[in-house]
Amino acid sequence: MGRKKEKFVPIKRGEVKLYSCGPTVYDFPHIGNLRAYVFVDLLKRVLEYNKLRVKHVMNITDVGHLTSDADTGEDKMEKGARREGKTVWEIAEFYTKDFFDAMDKLNIEKPKTICKATDHIKEMIDMIKQIEKNGFAYKTSDGIYFDTFKLKDYGKLAGLYIEGLKEGARVEPNLEKRNPTDFALWKISPKDQKRQMEWNSPWNIGFPGWHIECSAMSIKYLGEKFDIHTGGVDHVPVHHTNEIAQSQGALKKDVVNYWLHNEHVLVDNKKMSKSLQNFYTLHDIENKNFNPLAFRYLLLTSHYRSKFNFTWESLEAAQKSLNTLREHMILLKSTDNKKTDKKRILEYKKKFLGFINDDLNIPYAVSLTWKLIREESKINNSDKHKIIMDFDKIFGLKLKDVKDVKSKIPKEAEKLINEREEARKKRDWKKADEIRKKLKEMNILIEDTESGVKWRLI
């Protein structure tokens, strides 16, 4: 809110209440969306590294997010269901699972509380009633809207100049809206259309507006004052601005102490988005034989508040760096008889803490790790190994799982490679492919070359 770096002071000593806007589960998440959750994961790990207990809540948007942020267009969920000839509930379940799978693959720790919008309709209706009682809502033929001009400081998060927006009112398609920035709290189901998701309410059968779910659920699980709220920067001018309006409307106060937003992933210098059709998913990354953790590594090398232009070349480089890092972890296991200067260890740890606590300067923390690896004297191998394992509590690159498969392939994998050779000789391509998949799950990639079958670590 202050648009500057501020010292973080938790409301309750030793504890952080954190709310993250979750995904809209109508399609596969793209890697831009996933940046938002790697960012939150890093934030949480940094807070925990500082010995703070984190109470983390994330929602799943399974109703009410329309194709246009301006309360027009179709519900993304209903659109997704039609596209696939399934029910909205099936779509929600399928893509929620896919999102959770992506979180696992990227080693993102799951929030303790994950709440679905459709399980909280009552809480949303109660909050809208409160807003209405306090005089901030009005009814139109298609819903209940929030009167944003009734708030003196509407738009303060985004720095919106509300008077200037009156000009825009002339081109507003919804003529019943009093002001261009007004937004729907509850939408009444269209008479000529049967929605799959709709509920009774004091204002007629319908469904909640998109913003009310995050206000209602964050307050339910974290209380009327909590520490941090996160999301992508696209949420600043609309979704989060309207969440602030709603808590002002219902409770006459702000509920969030700090807002943190991640910048976008771009492709060809344009925002990666479903509507522009310029997106990649984690499945695309895996299909090109990259380890999802290579994508995590790539994200570690850019600061969350910087725009990040994605290219396959940069992912290739990240995969190489990750492989090299893992190889170093194996090498560092072999002891040397160097004597460690304990002061030097403390210096590294202090620097690391300084970087991560400076608004999550993870790129610098990564560089520091490489510096430590290259450091010629003063720290012996096993101490280097220990320090990097400690750093990995933040990076989350699963460095403790690294095994020496390069020099010694596991017995099980060796057996599979031989079985695959047999299958290929018998022209049983199906079996050969299945084995290739199994090996890939073990992070081993098979390549058939002229000089025979080769494998490498991914």
Indicate which single residue of 21, 81, 131, 379 sits in contact with Zn ion (rule: CB under 5 A). Answer: 21
For residue 458 the two structure tokens come to: 């991914």
The pair phi, psi for residue 446, each rounded to 5°, is -100, 135
Nearer to ligand AMP, 10 or 231 (CB): 231
Q: Does 21 bind ligand AMP (CB under 6 A)?
A: yes
Measured CA to CA, the distance from residue 265 to residue 126 in angstroms comes to 37
Are 364 and 355 within 8 A, CB to CB?
Answer: yes
Does residue 273 touch ligand AMP according to CB under 6 A?
Answer: yes
Q: Which of residues 57-76 bind ligand AMP (CB under 6 A)?
A: 61
Q: Are strands 113-116 and 53-60 parallel, antiparallel or unpaired?
A: parallel
Q: Count of residues binding ligand AMP (CB under 6 A)?
A: 18
CA–CA distance, 91 with 80 (Å, rounded to integer): 7
Stretch that binds ligand AMP, among 79-87, 151-159, 269-277, 390-398 (CB under 6 A): 269-277
User: How far apart are alpha carbons 291 and 294 in whole angstroms?
Assistant: 5
Nearer to Zn ion, 244 or 318 (CB): 244
Least distance to ligand AMP, CB of residue 121, Å: 19
Min CB(76)–ligand AMP separation in Å: 8
Residue nearest to ligand AMP (CB): 232
CB of 137 to Zn ion, least distance (A): 20
Widest pairwise Cα distance in the chain? 80
With CB under 6 A as the contact rule, the residue among 214, 272, 397, 446 that binds ligand AMP is: 272
Binding mask 332-371 for ligand AMP (x = CB under 6 A): ----------------------------------------
What would the DSSP string read from start to end of 123-170?
Answer: HHHHHHHHHHHTT-EEEETTEEEE-GGGSTTTTTTTT--HHHHHHHGG
Binding at 214: pick from Zn ion, ligand AMP, none (beta carbon under 5-8 Å per type)? Zn ion
- Of 212, 214, 195, nearest in space to 204 by CA: 195
Residues counted in the chain: 458
- As given in the structure block, the two tokens for residue 407 are 């020099």
Burial (CB count within 10 angstroms: exposed 0-12, middle 13-18, buried 19+), residue 275: exposed
| Positions in 229-248 near ligand AMP (CB under 6 A) | 231-232, 234-235
Tell me which stretch binds ligand AMP (CB under 6 A): 30-38, 130-138, 184-192, 200-208: 30-38
Interacting span for ligand AMP (CB under 6 A) from 262-270, 311-319, 332-340, 370-378: 262-270
Residue 438 CA neighbour count, 13 Å, CB half: 14
Q: Which stretches of the chain bind Zn ion, using CB under 5 A?
A: 21, 214
Residues interacting with ligand AMP, by CB under 6 A?
A: 21, 23-24, 32-33, 35-36, 61, 231-232, 234-235, 262, 264-265, 271-273
